[in-house]
Amino acid sequence: MFVNIKKKLKNEIENLIFHYRCHNVILDNVEIRGAKYIYCGKNSVIGSGSRLLCWDSYNGEKLEVKPRILIGKNFHATRNLSIQCARCIQIGDNVLVASNVLIIDYNHGMNPNTISYLDNPLELSCGVKIEDGVWIGESVIVLGGVTIGIKSIIGAGSVVTHNVPAYSIAAGNPAKVIKQYDFSRKEWI
């Protein structure tokens, strides 16, 4: 019981530090775990029901890497954003995220010879990078190891499993580039 109280107190102190560090960020009913690994830029809004989770241990084992969620300035997440991080999830400035989006950079180990997949160690990807000015549509999933380039758009309901180049529109499952911005014609082609 004493250990539980100590753990709860530690979480609350970390959350207080997070709120102090990110004093310009509007957090409406947001669950934070691993607050000491999370940085959020000024004038950002993280909508109701969102979760920012950094795992630094799993099944009691300390992870070898320290997870980091790094969010730039003017970030806007509508609601129910879930960012689950065991290595590094980096989001640039002026990124817009619609509702019900999941960004995750790990898998459970996939050895079937265990009672539950929970018994496997986590498998970490090399992280996720979402560059400046990206717009992520409604109900998108972004999986580990992916970079989404500057000003790209991800269509509603997409699952992003591979890199998306800058100034591209990608959609579908798995997400594929459907348009690219033509600077000479000033339109998406």
User: Which positions touch ligand COA (CB under 6 A)?
Assistant: 78, 98, 137-138, 153, 155-158, 169, 171-172, 178-179, 188
Q: Exactly one of 19, 23, 76, 108 is catalytic; name it.
A: 108
Q: For ligand COA, which is the closer residue by CB, 47 or 127? A: 47
Is the CB of residue 94 less than 8 Å from the CB of residue 74?
Answer: yes
- Nearest approach in angstroms of CB 166 to ligand COA is 16
Indicate if 108 belongs to the active site. yes
Q: Tell me which residue of 36, 72, 70, 31 sits closest to 52, measured CA to CA.
A: 31
Residue 60, Cβ density class (10 Å: 0-12 exposed, 13-18 middle, ≥19 buried): exposed
Strand partners, 136: 97, 154
Angstrom distances, CA of residue 84 to CA of 32, 59, 103: 10, 16, 6
- Nearest approach in angstroms of CB 133 to ligand COA is 14
Residue type (1 letter), 78: T
Q: For ligand COA, which is the closer residue by CB, 115 or 189? A: 189
Q: For ligand COA, which is the closer residue by CB, 35 or 91? A: 91
Q: For ligand COA, which is the closer residue by CB, 52 or 171? A: 171
- Nearest approach in angstroms of CB 179 to ligand COA is 6
Q: Tell me which residue of 72, 18, 82 sits closest to 43, measured CA to CA.
A: 72
- Nearest approach in angstroms of CB 148 to ligand COA is 13
Catalytic residue ranges: 108
